[in-house]
A = this chain, B = another copy of it.
């Protein structure tokens, strides 16, 4: 009955239903118009995403989703000579992989809006406090500069494919003190960071005419029900 928006990504997607999370905010925003489906896979990079994409978007999904957010790159951008090297994907492969993800989705559902979300900026000193794996070198596993390169690559792919893009890396660094204002552990999102992703996704979809103002509402809303004859609103449903 309701159209769907899939959120496909890594931990920043998987964790998007924590308090104030951008995924939860999307459900709340579209609460009578769209079903938001969480497909976040912590730690995944685009290489692994491609290994599972046919399973994630399997044949049981018969109706084209309204939109899919594709939010990978934070793990691809792990440095190849640091402690999280096993998640690293070279930037050229990252671009190819994003192209393949977009091609898969477009091939399956030509009308579905795709939103490529870039990785966020990285606060390197804070990353040292949150190693995923033993950090023998004592150096951050990601740098902000490299994350920026992957962000630019994701924007380039979005432009090449003609799909929607959110440049989180640039957008967040416009916030004074973004290191702690937007990020909770130098990588994942704070409440403000989550608000930014939510707002950017809503804005991106609006560009394609997808908004609560235009989407059909599921069943009569209370403000339209006549207190003197409430059942009238339910005739013919």
* Chain A interfacial positions (CB closer than 8 Å to B): 1, 11, 14-15, 17-21, 23-25, 27-28, 31-32, 35, 37-44, 47-48, 51-52, 55-56, 58, 60, 86-87, 132-133, 218-219, 221-222, 225, 227-228, 230-231, 234, 237
**Can you offer 19 A-B residue contacts whose CB atoms are under 8 A?**
A17-B24, A18-B28, A21-B28, A23-B27, A24-B27, A24-B28, A31-B38, A35-B38, A41-B222, A42-B222, A44-B222, A47-B231, A51-B231, A51-B237, A55-B219, A55-B237, A56-B219, A86-B230, A132-B222
Q: How many copies of this chain does the complex contain?
A: 2
Select from chain B the residue with minimum beta-carbon distance to A132: B222
Asked if residues B219 and A60 are in contact (CB atoms below 8 Å), the reply is no
B residues near A35, Cβ cutoff 8 Å? 37-38
Contact A43-B225, Cβ < 8 Å, known A28-B17, A28-B21: yes
Select from chain B the residue with minimum beta-carbon distance to A14: B31
Task: For A1, give its contact among B58, B219, B225, B228 (CB under 8 Å).
Answer: B58
Task: For A60, give its contact among B1, B19, B24, B218 (CB under 8 Å).
Answer: B1
B residues near A51, Cβ cutoff 8 Å? 231, 234, 237
Task: For A21, give its contact among B14, B24, B56, B237 (CB under 8 Å).
Answer: B24
Q: How far is the CB of A82 from chain B (nearest CB, A)?
A: 12
